[in-house]
Amino acid sequence: MTTQPGGTSDEPIIGIDLGTTNSLVAYCDATGPVVIEGTEGDPVVPSCVRFDPTGGRHEAVGREARDHAVEFPEHTVFSAKRLMGRGIDAVKDEIDYLPYKVVSGDHDTARIDISGRIYTPQEVSAYILQELKTRAEAHFDKPVRKAVITVPAYFDDAQRQATRDAGRIAGLEVVRIVNEPTAAALAYDLDRQQDSTIAVYDLGGGTFDVSILRLNKGVFQVLSTAGDTHLGGDDIDRAIVELIQKEIRAQFGDGLSFPPSTRQAFRSFAEATKIRLSNDESAEIEVALGEDRVYHRTLMRTELIDIMQPWVEKTIDACKRALRDAKLKPADVDQVVMVGGSTRIPLVQQVVGQFFDAEPYTALNPDTVVALGASVQAAIIAGINREALLLDVIPLSLGIETMGGAVAKIIVRNTTVPAVAAEKFSTYVDGQTNVKINVYQGERELTKDCRLLGSFDLTGIPPMPAGLPKVEVTFMVDANGILTVTAVERRSEKQASIQVVPNHGLTRNEVDRMEMESYEHAIDDMTEHRLIDLRNQAKLDIRQISKQLEKVGDEVKADYRAEIDTKVSTVQQFIDDREADPNAFHQALTDMDHTTIRLAELAIAKTLRDEGLAD
């Protein structure tokens, strides 16, 4: 059987760099890794998706969506990677910067609202992955179902799981999640070196990572990682935008507001200016604000350096942490590999070179190197390249909550994966028959400073005096970074476990449903998915309305009650209609919600009176 690029003849495996700003797909054969280009010869797919004005389906993905973002600011989604696996509170600083609407979803997750149609960031990322998948299928002239996808090394479990979910929605089996800096080392073929220590410095559009790698005889070992999931070229763009907005308000009035189209234009100006100043000493900025108001100024490279200096210093602080964790000094690093489009900026290369006292290695295109490395890993999995062994690490410590809100760390950060560790605990109350296990991730000592990944109960423990039961808790992290926690009471052999699918990701049923629907026609997918969301929301709203009516039914006048019943009945008909028009359904749901605002106010007032908090 002839082996094809990136996998067997029947199962090509592709490598994908799913980036905040741009994404790429690559394959690797016996001659080495190659980025797959589009029909116009461009390997880059901007991580941008435009939806139609109703939000019912996506109209464009990639360059076409990005190039017309100013025209459709509220319907064009970019930087979805920054929202994946995140809670709404964690991205609140992003919202004012984004021209599209970000709202709170289930479990306070960040969701994207396009004309009333709610999308998860995973769904948006899935459209980008589908575009890359289609590009690869055109290249191979056969279906592509498997992929290696890269993530920032500092992504936590929720963000990694969200990346897996996006892949599944796109119709891809994610056979491996690989840290982006590690992928870069694979792309550079650094495994041919002997006893080398490499620092991989990755500054992209939305994230920064640094990894310290030990390379020896074809073995990759990650000694340590550090970084920031909210630090990259987008932050430089934002700083330039804030400067422009501040100066415009100073010139034309503090009360001046900026509509979404203007905010999108600011972002485009800022990005173009940053790129221009990487080569030139100055760049012109001109913004027409209407009513004969024009903002114009010349931005000098020295000013950009002043803007960027704090951000670049943050990356150096992360480098120091990574070296400290690896018990190394800058002089111990043999080579510095630069990855990510933002490393083209002269200031970045200068500061990094000074810190490590070495000329940064920029032999490969920093935009494509991660995708190339992902394809090398795909080739290793496919059996094409068996000379390299990839060892990765736990990015943040994992543990459980103990008495008093402390965290007992069971697997510490930078432990090589796959990893297994166990510790024994006991009860604190006489006769305790149930133990709640709360799993946390983080480096702090108290649960309030760490992130809750999941919880489960170990039940059926025979009543015993406190301290007598022996509960063994085992943490196991597989090669894909999925955490399984098992608790066993050794005297009774009662056992319980959980596979952590973080509550900031999608549920397994949601992912399975989306994956199944993705194989059908795109328009049908969008329509059915929207109807499902509308039905779920409608059922929740009707249930809440029913509770409110039970609470304050005697305060609701007959004519208002009849109006509510009519609106609820209309929505119920849409719920039961399997062929419902989603736009009409959405309008009926909106009408019902508006009608019941007064009912909700009455219910709140009743609660306050019952609790003695109101007159």
The answer to whether 523 and 532 have CB atoms below 8 angstroms apart is no
pLDDT digits (tens, 9 = 90+) for 238-279: 888 888 888 888 888 877 777 767 777 787 788 888 888 877
Per-residue pLDDT, 511: 43
Query: What integer pLDDT is reported at residue 484 of this predicted model?
Result: 82
Specify the pLDDT at position 375: 93
As beta bridge partners, residue 41 has none
Pairing mode, if any, of strands 110-114 and 76-78? unpaired
> Domains plus CATH for the chain?
233-307 (3.90.640.10), 398-504 (2.60.34.10), 520-610 (1.20.1270.10)
Rounded CA gap, 381 and 253, in Å? 60
Query: Cα separation of 122 and 83, whole Å?
Result: 9
Residue 246, classified by CB atoms within 10 Å of its CB into exposed (0-12), middle (13-18) or buried (19+), is exposed
Rounded distance between C-alpha atoms, residue 179 and residue 158, angstroms: 15
Q: How far apart are CA 70 and CA 153, in angstroms?
A: 32
- The chain-wide mean pLDDT, for the chain, equals 82
Residues recognised as catalytic: 17, 81, 180, 202
Closest CA to 410 of 360, 484, 503, 350: 484
Q: What is the pLDDT of residue 518?
A: 41
Reference 185, options 176, 177, 193, 175; nearest CA is: 193
pLDDT of the residue at 382: 86
Low-confidence ranges of the chain (pLDDT < 50): 1-9, 386, 388, 480, 501-508, 511, 513-522, 525, 529
Collapse the DSSP code of 575 into the 3-class scheme (helix H, G, I; strand E, B; otherwise coil) and give the result.
helix
DSSP structure string for 1-62: -PPBTTB-SS-BEEEEE--SSEEEEEEEETTEEEEPP-TTS---EESEEEE-TTSSSEEEET
**Residue 495 has what pLDDT?**
83
Residue 174 in contact with residue 377, Cβ under 8 Å? no
8 A C-beta contact, residue 395 and residue 412:
no
Find the angle CA(593)-CA(594)-CA(596) to the nearest 5 degrees.
Answer: 65
| Residue whose token pair is 């955490």 | 483
- Taking alpha carbons only, the member of 470, 500, 503 closest to residue 488 is 470
The pLDDT of residue 154: 72
Digit-coded pLDDT (tens) for 153-195: 778 888 999 999 999 999 999 999 998 878 888 887 676 556 7
